[in-house]
Amino acid sequence: MEIFCFAYPERLILLSLLVPLWGFLAWGMVRKAQARKLLADRKLSDSLLGKWSPYREIVIRVMQFFAVGFLLVAWCGPQLCRGDKLVRRDAVDVVYVLDVSNSMLARDEVPDRLGRAKQVMLAISREIDRGRRGLVAFAGSAVVQCPLTADRQAFEAMLHVASPGLVEEQGTNLEAALDIAGRMFTGRGNAGNDAGMRVVVIASDGENHGKTFTGAVGKLGRMDVLLFVVGVGAQKPVHIPVRGDESVSGSVRWDAQGHPVLTAFRPEVLRNLADETGGIFLHSRENEPVSGRVLEELGVMKGGMQWVREPRYREEIYHYFALASVLLLLGAGVMASKS
């Protein structure tokens, strides 16, 4: 028995774009009709601009809508799957939790703390060749920058653009970030994914962590999540440079009293977090890459290998959806040229 499945089910969320797309197409049709009416009466506008039929316009918009829809479905990798087989997988699902607070812009690392944290995460991601990757960015609040995906290029693109501008509320709320990371493992489409290890990699300077982590830590512990806490920065206080067009004095950040803001790496907070979860604390230094240590620890935990069921046969059918999209766009173009 054949079933319809997707190679990249995490991309299905993009189908939600069809809702605003339909509104945009409908709005465009209404505006076009209003513009013709304002220009002249129907007979005169037909003679000047060509005959226009609202029914034909509706058909054109519907064809455009389905063309985009088929293209999005094709990008999700539709397949016809049948049969099943037992396979052994050692996949590792990793959620990377990246501190993007302003203190991460400090340049006591090269190019800065944030850049060093990205380098660490990129190195770990490329070493772990199987499994999915997700990204949570946090400062005073936390956001999902990239849902769990097997698409390494998409993850790396989202990691590259992560910056303090992603999170409007500044500060450092690691509790919220850990909570979101846990929900990413148990969210829709992930609850039954027990085929490998679950790992959270945090990269932060430990600055301004004012909250406890009891709730989030307990949740991750119950899910058997392995936590790696990577510290970046130096303990000597340094200035925080300013990016963007904020109101500043000079090239560094100043507080309300007119004093330059200083920041220093706080390893004790991050070390305590690792101790509470039974995780591993690592301090990233220029000559001591931490990716090798992470891979070494994961190698010890080969018990994460499990037998799981996967479809025996998969037939790629994305090209049919892509072809349908092209034909619909061509058809819509031909109809529009005749109006």
Give the pLDDT confidence of 188-226 residue by residue, as tens digits. 555 444 446 789 999 999 875 555 566 667 777 777 788
pTM of the model: 0.62
Q: How many percent of the chain have pLDDT more than 90?
A: 29
Q: What is the mean pLDDT of residues 131-156?
A: 90
Angstrom CA distances, 212 to 115, 170, 216, 220, 304, stand at: 27, 18, 9, 14, 29
Residue 256 per-residue DSSP state: T
Question: Are 183 and 282 in the same domain?
Answer: yes
Question: Are 91 and 48 in the same domain?
Answer: no
Residue 138's DSSP bridge partners are 99, 142
Question: Are 119 and 7 in the same domain?
Answer: no
CB 136 within 8 A of CB 155: no
Q: Is the pLDDT of residue 113 over 60?
A: yes
Phi and psi, residue 314, nearest 5°: -130, 125
**Burial code of 12-46, b = ≥16 C-beta within 10 A, e = fewer?**
eeeeeeeeeebeebeeeeeeeeeebeeeeeeeebe
The tokens describing 271, both together, are: 């070390």
CA 26 – CA 14 distance, rounded (Å): 20
> How many domains are there within the chain?
2
pLDDT at 87: 59
Any idea which residue has 């849902």 for tokens? 147
Question: Are 208 and 299 in the same domain?
Answer: yes
Question: Are 32 and 156 in the same domain?
Answer: no
pLDDT band at 162 (very low <50, low <70, confident <90, very high): very high
Q: Is the pLDDT of residue 257 over 70?
A: no
Give the residue from 167, 128, 180, 8 showing the smallest Cα distance to 79: 8
The tokens describing 57, both together, are: 């316009």
pLDDT at 146: 93
The tokens describing 215, both together, are: 């709730």
Question: Are 301 and 319 in the same domain?
Answer: no
Give the residue from 121, 300, 261 showing the smallest Cα distance to 200: 121
**Domain containing 109 — which CATH number?**
3.40.50.410
Looking at residue 71, its amino acid is L
The average confidence (pLDDT) of the chain is 81
The residue ranking higher by pLDDT, 254 or 238, is 238
pLDDT at 330: 94
Question: Are 153 and 36 in the same domain?
Answer: no
Q: What is the mean pLDDT of residues 121-141?
A: 88
CB 100 within 8 A of CB 167: yes
Q: Is the pLDDT of residue 302 over 70?
A: no
Question: Are 268 and 143 in the same domain?
Answer: yes
Residue 7 sits in which domain range?
2-83+312-337
CB 113 within 8 A of CB 334: no
Question: Are 245 and 266 in the same domain?
Answer: yes
CA 299 – CA 197 distance, rounded (Å): 11
Query: Pairing mode, if any, of strands 226-231 and 280-283?
Result: parallel
Question: Are 124 and 172 in the same domain?
Answer: yes
The residue ranking higher by pLDDT, 243 or 266, is 266
Q: Is the pLDDT of residue 247 over 50?
A: no
The tokens describing 59, both together, are: 């058909």
pLDDT band at 57 (very low <50, low <70, confident <90, very high): confident
CA 141 – CA 6 distance, rounded (Å): 33
pLDDT at 185: 83
pLDDT at 291: 82
Question: Are 141 and 159 in the same domain?
Answer: yes
